[in-house]
Amino acid sequence: MSSFFIKKRVISAAVNKGDLKRKSNADDGKGRSKKFNKRADEEISSDSENERTEPSRKQPDNEDDEIEETPQEKKLRLAKLYLDQLRDEEDKKAEEESFEADLIAGRLQDDLLEQKGKLQRLIAKDLIAPDPEEVRLLRGHKLSVTCLVITPDEKYIFSASKDCSIIKWEAETGKKVHKIAGGRKGTEEHHVGHTAHVLCMAISSDGKYLASGDVNKLVMIWDPMTCKHLYKFTGHRGAVSGLAFRRGTHTLYSASHDRSIKVWSVDENAYVETLFGHQDMITGLDCLSRERCVTAGGRDRTVRVWKIAEESQLVFHGHEGSIDCVQLINEEHMVTGGDDGSISIWTVNKKKPVSTVKKAHGSHGNTGLEQPNWVSSVAALHNSDTVASGSHNSAVQLWKCGQGFRGLEPLFSVPVTGFVNSLKFSNSGTFLVAGVGQEHRLGRWWRIKEAKNGLYIIPLKRQAKEQEVVQ
């Protein structure tokens, strides 16, 4: 490189010298000088030509020289690029962290509201009534379906019946996966399944245990995956009419027509304690995460909240007849239904219902002697403003709870023929399952011959995906 630049300087000097000579010779006008000038011109023209052609030939190199960087410049440029890249990554990370923080804050707020029993997702306003052809009927039981549960992952449904059997269904296809056959009365010692009407079922929140209770005073524990029998709990002196697992645990609560509630540890296959208080047979039971459960006392017309740890109970009055069913909406609100035809919403802070709808499913009988249609089942989509009720008026009714659970407004009804003995929402709220039979689950007061014993899977479509939360 150095020799090239030296040569270039020499050529440039020669050119400049020749230019000066040509100028001086042109001024004196002598022939000798002209001859010299001619030779000089030839030399100059040759050099000039080299000068003109050489830069044009070297131009790309010169351009490269202009683009080419020194090592220090290259390091500086790469450092700037790296810093810009780091800055972009930090900005992106900050945005993601901000979004995650908002998401976590929202979830923590929901969890806090849920623990306080004040979480109410406003879903009802977006629900749309399904088309009749979208409602599926699963048949397999010979007698009335009395109870059902949906697995936490929503893949399977278990149903039980007065025919003493339990059937496991695939929710998506409606295919019958397994059947635990019922047996005859008196064969309990050598028969794995139930030998009397099954009245209630419950499944643990992790899907590990399934519990079923029957008229024969027994509580049976099953493995939901294999339908294998695990344990048998005895101790009740009357039909087992209600079962519920405490969420997040394997603690099981059972209610009976003997007016008692029993607490069991399923993991240890052990009895824990018995609670007393109702004045008539218990017809329904439910619980969520807290160490407490709620019960419907049938003809004693009370709803009770049992505080297990404190060994105390809260007593609520409001229905004019037998209270047949109860379900928790969240930790502090519940819905009940009874043979007086009314549906009531309760809060644990008040002894009377917050809201009541009378003749929720209409009435039957001659004019002047009309009787309200019994509300035989209720269900609640947990931590939302949506509840459902069933009767024998050929319809499942969905309701919207007002803000703060004050007031009940009818949303739409789904045609279903027979006694709706059990209702359950899926955890995601995408579908509702109704267990239907020709007879009421607790008796045979009358029979609807045209009814089909089975499960109705009712899809719940929504107008919008967003869910609003009210404190």
Residue pair 284/304 in contact by the 8 Å Cβ criterion:
no
For residue 409, give every residue at least 6 positions away whose Cβ sits within 8 Å of its Cβ, in sequence order, or none.
Answer: 399, 400, 402
Which of 33-42, 257-266, 400-409 is the least confident region? 33-42
CA distance linking residue 389 with residue 416, whole number of Å: 12
pLDDT band at 116 (very low <50, low <70, confident <90, very high): low
- pLDDT bucket at 218, cuts 50 / 70 / 90: very high
CB 293 within 8 A of CB 277: no
Predicted confidence at residue 438, as pLDDT, reads 95
Place of tokens 């993991």: 267
β-strand partners of 149: 158
pLDDT tens-place string over residues 297-356: 999 999 999 999 998 999 999 999 999 999 999 999 999 999 999 999 999 999 999 999
Q: pTM of this prediction?
A: 0.75
pLDDT value at residue 11: 42
- Asked if residue 44 has pLDDT above 60, the reply is no
Distance (Å, whole) CA 215 – CA 239: 4
pLDDT of residue 108: 65
**pLDDT tens-digit profile of 138-172?**
999 999 999 999 999 999 999 999 999 999 999 99
Residue written as token pair 């009534």: 129
Cβ pair 362, 370 in contact under 8 A: no
Cα-Cα-Cα-Cα dihedral sign, residues 298, 299, 304, 308: negative
First and final C-alpha spacing in the chain? 79
Q: Is the domain 120-470 a CATH 3.20.80.10 member?
A: no
174: pLDDT strictly greater than 50: yes
pLDDT tens-digit series, residues 227-257:
999 999 999 999 999 999 999 999 999 999 9
Integer Cα distance of 413 and 40 in angstroms: 113
**77: which strand partners?**
none
Per domain, the residue ranges of the chain are 2-67, 120-470
Phi/psi of residue 296, each to 5°?
Answer: -105, 130
pLDDT tens, position by position, 185-194? 878 777 889 9
Distance of CA 131 to the CA centre of its chain: 24
CA atoms of 105 and 160, how far apart (whole Å): 41
Burial degree of 15 (CB within 10 A; 0-12, 13-18, 19+): middle
Nearest Cα to Cα of residue 428 among 462, 404, 395: 462
Residue type at position 4: F
Compare 113 and 73 and report the one with higher pLDDT: 73
Question: How many residues in total does the chain contain?
Answer: 471
What pLDDT score was predicted for residue 234? 95
Kindly report the three-state secondary structure assignment for every residue of the chain: CHHHHHHHHHHHHHHHHHHHHHHHHHHHCCHHHHHHHHHHHHHHHHHHHHHHHHHHHHHHHHHHHHHCCCHHHHHHHHHHHHHHHHHHHHHHHHHHHHHHHHHHHHHHHHHHHHHHCCCEEECHHHEECCCHHHCEEEECCCCCEEEEEECCCCCEEEEEECCCCEEEEECCCCCEEEEECCCCCCCCCCCCCCCCCEEEEEECCCCCCEEEEECCCCEEEEECCCCEEEEEECCCCCCEEEEEECCCCCEEEEEECCCEEEEEECCCCEEEEEEECCCCCCCEEECCCCCEEEEECECCCEEEEEECCCCEEEEEECCCCCEEEEEECCCCEEEEEECCCCEEEEECCCCCCCEEECCCCCEECCCCCCEECCCCEEEECCCECEEEEECCCCEEEEEEECHHHCCEEEEEEEECCCEEEEEEECCCCCEEEEEEECCCCCCCCCCCCCCCCEEEEEECEECCCCCEEEC
